[in-house]
Amino acid sequence: MSRLNDPEYVAVLRTDEWPSSIGARYGISRHAVKRDRAKLGERRENPTTGPVIAGESETHRPDGSADYVLNSEQAWGYSDFCRFIESKGQNPDEVTFTWGVTTNPSGGFWNKLNNVRPKVAGKDDGAPEWPVIQPAERVQFVTGWVPPKPARDGLKLSLKCADTQIGFRAGGNTIEAFHDWTAINVFIAVCRAEQPDSIIILGDFLDLAAQGKYVQEAGFARTTQMALNDGHLMLSLLRAACPNSQIVLVEGNHDKRMQSFIEQNALAAFGLKQANMPDSWPVMSLPNLLRMGELNIDYMDAYPAAAHWDDDTTRNIHGTRANSRGSTMAQYVQDAPHINTWAGHTHRTEIIYKTVIGPRGEPIETYSANPGALCHTDGRVPSVHGAIHADGSSARVVEDWQQGFGSLLHGDGVAWPQVHRIRDGVTVYNGKRFTVEHMGVHA
């Protein structure tokens, strides 16, 4: 005789008594009890009644959200939860919820449906709550008339800049830029007048504070895309001013932050490239995000090894050294007295020469130079000396930094390096005064 023909046994099966307890009473296993319950149709594919098993619950909150915990012999899937939501008079497509399943030690499974609430337009429609980082807004520019290249007695000219630190902080009721468009435009004005053979950007082009490893300020949030857009704008202005110059951006430690951020937080996306473009830069790399290929700008990656050589004896790097109480460039000439070095990183204008003896007793002169920075030097750029007010705006501090740029005339084994200061939006280069008005662009 089947146990299911015993009215008393069937009545017990319909209670919330645990299967192990029922099995002990009737001399059967708890698994047999669960199978009998399943035959009675106790599996809750679409339960509509209140709790009938100990441990089930239904919780409703004042904000309209609800949680449910329901027992079943078989674990529920997504469609089971959707049917349950429909049984409560709601459309699964019009609510948001999370769900999960855990085992019930007494038999079966706990099906957990959490935070069931109506979707909010603009928040739960599938769009991310934070802006998606994407390639910079493309700048349409017209090159127009280009000044003729000045005579240089057969020498080549390379202009250098460093540490623009392009980035933003949202503080108080304003958005502060780390980069100084006045200094940037003065540099571009000199580039336009000189039409150099090359323009070398010595790293930390972007600040990327939101991707840094240090303590995050609230004001860094949602600023990365703005930085990319301004970075592309600067590169576009450079290319428009000097359509025939080689432009090279050497990666700095701040530029490297984007790659490090992806490696640490989204490793599966590291190195992803556009479909059918195996030779392209990864989609989250700075060359792609800044649209460098469209501007014919070269990018030297792999900081701190990133380097560009002007010739066999002159290298351009971002640098790893920063001596706060002395000359940083002196360290480079001591470490590599046989080559010339242009480096950024310290935000301080400096040039140091060194002379050593050659293999035949002749003097060999080399130098190391830093062109200074094109960022603000008054505390806006995050640094060890920086501070912020209660409203998130930066406090004004005096940094031991200087704005400037460098120039190098070289060829036939000779080199004439110079460092030029920019003060209050003005520089004097080759006896000529340059201001932002020479660009026709105002900061």
Beta strands in 193-293 (DSSP E): 198-201, 246-250
Give the whole-angstrom CA distance, residue 432 versus residue 427.
8
Q: Render each residue's pLDDT in the chain as its tens digit; 443 residues.
A: 577 778 788 777 777 677 777 877 788 877 777 777 777 654 333 333 444 456 788 888 888 888 898 888 888 888 888 889 988 888 988 888 887 777 777 777 888 888 898 987 656 555 555 677 899 999 877 777 889 999 999 999 999 999 999 999 987 678 999 999 999 999 999 999 999 999 999 999 999 999 987 777 888 888 999 999 999 999 999 999 999 999 999 999 999 999 999 998 888 888 999 888 889 999 999 999 999 999 999 999 999 999 999 999 999 999 999 988 889 999 999 999 999 999 999 999 999 999 999 899 999 999 999 999 999 999 999 998 888 888 888 899 999 999 999 999 999 889 999 999 999 999 999 999 999 875 544 33
Rg for the chain, CA atoms, rounded? 34
Residue with tokens 């089971």: 80
Which residues are 409's β-sheet partners?
Answer: 157, 416
Over residues 141-184, the pLDDT tens digits come to 777 788 999 999 999 999 999 999 999 998 767 899 999 999 99
Nearest in space to 138 (alpha carbons), one of 301, 292, 249: 292
- Pairing of β 314-316 and β 340-342: parallel
Give the whole-angstrom CA distance, residue 276 versus residue 297.
22
Element (H, E) at 115: strand 109-118
Torsion of CA 385, 389, 392, 396, to 10 degrees: -50
DSSP structural state of residue 126: S
- Tell me whether the omega of the peptide bond preceding residue 92 falls within 30 degrees of 0, making it cis: no
Residue with tokens 């349950």: 84
Give the whole-angstrom CA distance, residue 395 versus residue 378.
8
pTM of the model: 0.72
Nearest in space to 49 (alpha carbons), one of 73, 19, 71, 74: 71
